Structures are given as C-alpha cells and as structure tokens.
Structure 1
C-alpha cells in the first residue's frame, strides 16, 4: 500500500509539474528610432517559441501605426548636378524635413499616450518578464524608473539586438542592461568565443559556431559586472579597417561582447546583440534564395539560445550569473 501511494504521489507531482502554469511574457517592439525589418519575424518566432515550449505565453506591445518616415541626410551635390538641379534637391529636402518634424511631433504625442496606456505599472506588474525585441530610442514609458524597479524586484528582462540602442539618456536602463550600442560597420560573419559553454543559454551553441549579422560595438560595458556568454577579442570588422584603425584597435586591446547575462537585484537579465537579420531569427526566411546568408541550422541555434535565455531569466532553469568570467 505504501509503495502504491508513493507511486501515485510521484505521478501526481509529475502531472502537476507537466501542467504548471506557463509564465507570462510581455514583448515590446516599439521603436522611436530606426525600425528593423526583422521585427515582424522576431514577433512570430517569439510567439512560436512560447507555444512550442509551453514555458510561457506572449503578449505584445506593438508599434502604433503612423510613424513618419525620416527623409534622411541632406543631399550631396553630384558631378551631374547643375546649380538648378541641386537647388531643387535641397529645397525638396528642406520641405520634407519640415514636414517630418511636424509629423514626428504629432506621432511622438501619440506614442506617449499609447505607452501610458499599455505600460502603466498597474497593467504590467503581473507579468513575469519583459522582452525588448529590437526596440530603439526613448520608449516614453509612463514610469521608466518604476519599470526598472520591477526587474530589480525579481522580474525577467530579455533584449535582442537594438534593445541596447534604447533609452540611451536613461542611465537606469543602461545600468540594468549592462551596456549600450555605440556603432556598427557592415554586416559580417563572426565566430564568437564561447565563454560559458555549459550554461543552459549557450550549451546548444556548437564549438566553432559562425553567424552572419550586423555586429554591434558596445560601449559603457564592464566585463567584470556580467557573466559573459559570447564575445570577440578583436573588432568584428577587422579585415575592413584601415591600417590606422587596426593600429588603434591593437593599442586599445578592446573586448567586443556579443551576449551576456547577469543578475539585477532579484531579477535576471539576458542580452544578445545578434538578431538584426531575418535569417538569424527564422530558418525558413527566403529559404534557397541569395538573400539568405545564414543556414537554417544557424537560425535553429539562435532560437534555442533565445528560448534558453528566456527560460533562464524566468528562473525556469538554473545557470551561473557570476560576473567576471571573461578573460
């Protein structure tokens, strides 16, 4: 009888575990700066990872419609330009810039009202974690300090790619994340160093793994304050640098982080700068076309890393966050 009760209890516990309530994630894809074409792909993949794993559900704070298009940089006079043609280009740019500034102010007010509704603390406090998927700029949260406090008090925070190109003037966000975007050069293939190969986030990343993407140069980063996952000991675009730039980099001996995790108070933070390209996110994107630079296997590895990073940040798995593991 005792043995039978033990078996029944074990089965009940197993059943209870199998039907544990999934965690709740809020995915933010709002941008007030550059907007990546891969955002829709990222949204699709994150929703699929939640459904397939059963570990979490996903709600979204999407981009409101109506963001005006920036006219870009002023025209540069070309060899074939006449005084009249260049004057016309300059005048057209001036008109477009004035219209953009006017429209952007209206849109900024719309974003502020939208975020006040969607990101009010009383509406987001019950989420277990937050994902900034390729966000940019000032997101105009109604209480940005209160949001950071949620992470500090135990929530999960996950950010991909330009999640580090977000809230630059708000140092509380940068401190929580662990670094911020400075610049990038052309897209390039890298073979990052695995700093923590046994970590649940990176254990699926094979030795010698390569990925083609837009690789960020990160500033205000202190490797003594994070647990390194992926990184580079030389500039990702080293072959493209001038001799003078190479000499400078050799003197600086800089480290170039690609992915890390850390604890922030009682919360957990996971970041990867990868994710600019659709084919990093999605193994099926433009499959079999010249536009695709990453194999489906590379995208599968990225998805596995993202899923594991979310699960770790949500405290569904355990792995080290001990800072200072980057040589």
Structure 2
C-alpha cells in the first residue's frame, strides 16, 4: 500500500509538472476600470481565461488598482512574454514602473493594446509610439464593414476579405512611428462617422483610409494594437477572440507571419 501511494504521488507530481511545462508562454493581462468599460472588463477577463485554457498559456490578471507595485518590476516582468493592456492607458504606472515596462519591451517583450489604450493623450511619447497612433474621437457605436488589408498575420489569417462588425470606431492622428503594418481598416461609407452621442457633436472622419488594427517591431520588442473590443458582446465572438489571440501569439513569440 505504501509503495502504491509513492507511485501515485509521483504520477501526480509528474502530471502537474508536465502541465506547467507545456504552457507556451506567460501573459500579463492589465486592466483599468473606468465608467466606459466597467461592464466589458469582467466579460473580457472570463474569455481571456478560456483562451488561456484552450491555447495552453499562463495568464495572470492584474487591475490598475490592485497589486501593480509587485508586478511592474524588473524581476516580475522578466518572467512574462507579453503584456496585454485591455482598456488601460497606463496612467496608474509610476515612473519606476514605467521604466520596468520599457526594459521589458527593450528586452524583446511583446505588447498587445486593445481599444482604449490609444486614448492616451496624457501619456509620454514613448508609450504613444508603442501603441502606434493616438485616439482623437469617435461617434456612437454602430455596425460597419471592415476590410482585411493583410492576411499574413496570425490575427487576421482566419478572416475573409470583409468582416461586418459592431463597435466604437475610433479616429486617429498620424502614425507616431514609421514602422506600422496595417492589418484592418473600416469603411466609413458603411456607417455614420458623425453620429452623435451624449454631449459630443464634433467628430473626425478619416475618409478612405481609416486604420483600426496594426502591428510593429518597436524599440526591441513587438507591438500589436486593435481598435475593436469596446462592447462586452465582442468577447463572446469566436472571430474576434481569434483576432485577439493571433495578436497575443505573435507578440509573445514573433512567430506566425506568412512570408
């Protein structure tokens, strides 16, 4: 009986160790609650956990009002492969924490920015360049048609040439680096760029060229950004989740782009 217990214990340890070793990479999911995204974040986190189970990666979730002082450090980030900023602009990071984040990127780390991370007017230039473009404004959320401009990236290889989608369509300023690779753009002829919401009555249409997702190599690391993901319902859509995971996979590994 004692020998059986030893064998059983060994098997349990082996299975647990094998499971840990099998995980592909480690993802830090960083969120910042606000009045525009409080309903979206819990839904998104739930689906991120499912993605982690499905694709066998290690997911750690931290809120900006939580344990970030022990997370955005040189030591902790050295164990991470990619950081996802979900509706977070990084305003809660101290100068020291931002320095650790920069070291992470410069050491080859990956960054994924989702939707509101580009609304970063008060951030320093380096962070804005990491994201790639800066948010200007947006009309009321509505349905539009997306054009897939590059199907060689893991975030878009599953998509057809056109994709109908409902979201909040951000307008952007000029590119902040010369290295942005366009993935998706939205057709402004398929929605009303001037549709008002609340007290907002002035909006910035971008015309025929309205980028909404891109990627780049930046300052030693990799950066992927998508406008999509404002509404909670997005995170229950398998096409959207595949788009997000493709960005995470590439940012974490640098792999998957068809040559």
Work out whether the TM-score is over 0.5. Answer: yes
Q: Which runs of 5+ in 1 are unaligned?
A: 1-15, 65-110, 283-298, 322-327
**Equivalents in 1 of 2:30, 2:84: separation in Å?**
6
Q: Equivalent residue for 1:189?
A: 143
**Match for residue 228 of structure 2 among 266, 269, 274:** 274
Larger helix proportion, structure 1 or 2?
1
Select the residue among 282, 305, 312 that pairs with 2:243. 305
Displacement after TM superposition at 1:49 (Å): 0.5
For normalisation by structure 2, the TM-score amounts to 0.79
Q: CA deviation at 1:27?
A: 0.6
Corresponding position of 1:237: 192
Greater CA radius of gyration, 1 or 2? 1
Aligned length: 233
Q: Report the Cα distance in structure 1 between the residues aligned to 2:35 and 2:233, rounded to whole angstroms.
A: 22
Task: Tell me the SS of whatever aligns to 2:161.
Answer: coil
Residue 28 of structure 1: aligned partner: 30
Q: Does 1:200 align with 2:191?
A: no
TM-score with structure 1 length normalisation?
0.63
Q: Which residue matches 2:179?
A: 225
Structure 1 residue ranges (4+ consecutive) displaced by more than 6 angstroms after TM superposition: none
Q: Distance in 2 between matches of 1:265 and 1:208?
A: 32
The answer as to 2:134 corresponding to 1:133 is: no
Q: Which runs of 5+ in 2 are unaligned?
A: 1-17, 197-201
Q: Quick check: which one's strand share is greater?
A: 2
Give runs of aligned pairs for residues 1-327 of structure 1, distance below 5 A.
Answer: 20-31=22-33, 34-54=36-56, 56-64=57-65, 114-136=67-89, 138-141=91-94, 142-166=96-120, 168-221=122-175, 224-232=178-186, 234=188, 237-238=192-193, 240=195, 253=207, 255-282=209-236, 299-315=237-253, 317-319=255-257
CA–CA distance in 1 between the matches of 2:149 and 2:104? Answer: 29
Question: RMSD between aligned alpha carbons?
Answer: 2.9
